[in-house]
């Protein structure tokens, strides 16, 4: 059964993002769905499928159907693969539509971990994300290895020691991403950043500075997936789902595997390319999961834009920023835009393909690569979205 090119993302809804305290997680999710339907030119009555992903606060769950007031769904499920969840939801929605199970599916993510007078770090601690493990794994925490920051710091250090990647390379990712954010009214961080600003920001866990780490946001995002045929008759230009793939290497913590620098994104991207009939040379823009600056570097390598270990030198000329040869994270990503897990890169890809993004609109856009990453480089999803179903 042919899957690629048969479905498209017809609408996207992004709520206000950041330190917004007067809305609940379910409020954000409902607002995002309504915004996405409005963007597509559809109504709540058109929905017959919904996939949801809970955020850090864990509030969004199966009760959301009743909260939203949508009836008679033919597809409804709960997806949990961290930052890979957005790409996974789109893939499962496309497969279900292609199989005739349903016609219009909302893929929804929302989160509201931030509280007044509480830091982002406290938001994670409050939700148990930085809990102290027990048993064998407590040996790791005894040496300071727990939570995402230390995991990604270790991954970054391994890449540095193995290939010579530098803090200047990491800074180049942060600076180019911030350049895009200055042009995005939805972005949380719009103040221009220099390399000096990056280097002078405090260390969170060496070698990662504050500006190497993503934001924490309250908000919601939804996209509407339907058939390519139906999407062509709706309000916006469709973002055709031309290729998709997943890759989950796992980490047994045994010798002989290097999941920090040889990630599961490689097979995920290769599958997506193969399905779409394209290669890295055909990609006009990238929307890469950027929970940390290092994630962008290793993702570019595993997606075939450069050889393993060459990600740092590859981006040193500024090719990821405005006017560069490979526009990447054109809304500011998770580092400077907003942190909605895999929905951050996905939403920006759809907005770019709709073609209404003003001064940050990438011209002559046809193929966009979207990636998602969950855990500490543990779970991966990739999409190739196109302006045309080819």
Structure tokens at 211: 């500006």
Q: Assign 250 a pLDDT band (cuts: 50, 70, 90).
A: confident
119: exposed, middle or buried (Cβ count in 10 Å: 0-12, 13-18, 19+): exposed
pLDDT digits over 307-360, tens only?
999 999 999 999 999 999 999 999 999 999 999 999 999 999 999 999 999 999
Predicted local distance difference test score (pLDDT) of residue 256 = 72
Place of tokens 């990447």: 328
User: For the chain, what are the domain ranges?
Assistant: 7-114+215-386
**Active-site choice (152, 289, 294, 314):** 289
Q: Which residue has the higher pLDDT, 35 or 115?
A: 35
What is 7-114+215-386's CATH topology? Peroxisomal Thiolase; Chain A, domain 1 (3.40.47)
pLDDT in tens, 256-279: 778 899 999 999 999 999 999 999
379 as an active site residue: the answer is no
**Which residues lie closer than 8 Å to 255 by C-beta, 6 or more apart?**
none
Nearest CA to 342 out of 381, 299, 296 is that of 381
78 is catalytic: no
| The one catalytic residue among 146, 273, 338, 339 | 339
Q: Burial of 191 by CB count in 10 Å (0-12 exposed, 13-18 middle, 19+ buried)?
A: exposed
Question: Read out DSSP for 96-107?
Answer: HHHTTS-SEEEE
Convert the pLDDT of each residue in 85-137 to its tens digit: 999 999 999 999 999 999 999 999 999 999 887 777 776 665 555 555 667 66
pLDDT of residue 254: 66
Higher pLDDT, 161 or 133: 161
């Amino acid at each position: 059964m042919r899957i690629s090119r048969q479905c498209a993302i017809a609408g996207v809804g992004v709520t206000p993002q950041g330190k917004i305290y007067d809305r609940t997680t379910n409020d954000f999710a409902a607002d995002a769905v309504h915004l996405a339907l409005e963007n597509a030119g559809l109504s709540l009555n058109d929905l017959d499928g919904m996939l949801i992903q809970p955020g850090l606060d864990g509030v969004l769950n199966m009760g959301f159907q009743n909260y939203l007031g949508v009836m008679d769904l033919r597809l409804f499920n709960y997806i949990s693969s961290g930052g890979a969840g957005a790409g996974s939801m789109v893939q499962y929605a496309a497969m279900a539509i292609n199989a005739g199970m349903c016609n219009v599916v909302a893929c929804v993510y929302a989160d509201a971990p931030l509280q007044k007078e509480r830091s982002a770090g406290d938001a994670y601690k409050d939700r148990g994300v930085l809990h102290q493990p027990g048993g064998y794994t407590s040996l790791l925490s005894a040496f300071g290895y727990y939570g995402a920051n230390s995991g990604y710091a270790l991954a970054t250090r391994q890449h540095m020691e193995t290939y010579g990647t530098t803090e200047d390379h990491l800074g180049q990712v942060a600076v180019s991403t911030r350049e895009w954010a200055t042009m995005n009214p939805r972005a949380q961080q719009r103040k221009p950043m220099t390399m000096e600003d990056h280097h002078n920001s405090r260390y969170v866990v060496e070698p990662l500075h504050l500006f190497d780490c993503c934001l924490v946001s309250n908000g919601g995002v939804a996209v509407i997936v339907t058939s390519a045929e139906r999407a062509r008759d709706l309000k916006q230009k469709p973002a055709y789902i031309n290729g998709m793939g997943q890759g989950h290497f796992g980490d047994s913590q045994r010798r002989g595997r290097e999941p920090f620098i040889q990630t599961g994104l490689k097979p995920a991207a290769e599958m997506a390319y193969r399905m779409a009939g394209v290669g890295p040379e055909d990609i006009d823009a990238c929307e890469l999961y950027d929970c940390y600056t290092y994630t962008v570097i290793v993702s570019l390598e595993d997606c075939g834009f450069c050889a393993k270990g060459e990600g740092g030198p590859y981006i040193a000329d500024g090719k990821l920023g405005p006017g560069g040869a490979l526009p990447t994270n054109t809304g500011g990503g998770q580092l400077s835009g907003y942190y909605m897990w895999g929905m951050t890169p996905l939403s920006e890809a759809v907005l770019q393909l709709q073609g209404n993004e003003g001064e940050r609109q990438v011209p002559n856009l046809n193929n966009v690569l979207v990636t998602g990453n969950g855990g500490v480089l543990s779970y991966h999803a990739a999409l190739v979205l196109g302006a045309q179903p080819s």
